[in-house]
Amino acid sequence: MGGFGAVVALVDSGSPLRGPFTLFFLLAAPAAAIAAALRGLEPFGRTVAAVAGAVVVNMLVTQGMLAVHRWSVRGGIVAVTAISAVILLLVLLRRLRGRTTRRRTD
């Protein structure tokens, strides 16, 4: 549903579902990435922290784009997607590095 919201917003569709799906994507993508990084927390705490982090990511992207006078819906979606992807990539790299270290010590 979130991916569909990003695609609908990027294609500039006139669908009435564009707003809710895009909002869901803007909250779900960073929240999923942050939740993956907070693997050690209990589920409820991880959910609360991930949603709060998603709101912070969205607000920082918005504030940054407004500060440089480059606000656009497409740009915001691309920026949030890029930040979420970088967070997920860092989590994956950290986990892979941890696995190779454990294998060497066994």
Q: Domain tally for the chain?
A: 1
pLDDT of residue 38 exceeding 80: yes
CB distance 79 to 65 below 8 Å: yes
CB distance 3 to 53 below 8 Å: no
Residue 11 lies in a domain: no
Residue 15 lies in a domain: no
pLDDT digits (tens, 9 = 90+) for 46-69: 999 999 999 999 999 999 999 999
Helix, strand, coil abundance in the chain, percent, nearest 5: 85, 0, 15
Please state, in angstroms and rounded to a whole number, the distance separating the CA atoms of residues 28 and 58: 11
pLDDT digits (tens, 9 = 90+) for 69-81: 998 888 999 999 9
Range of the domain at 65: 26-94
CB distance 81 to 6 below 8 Å: yes
| Number of residues written out for the chain | 106
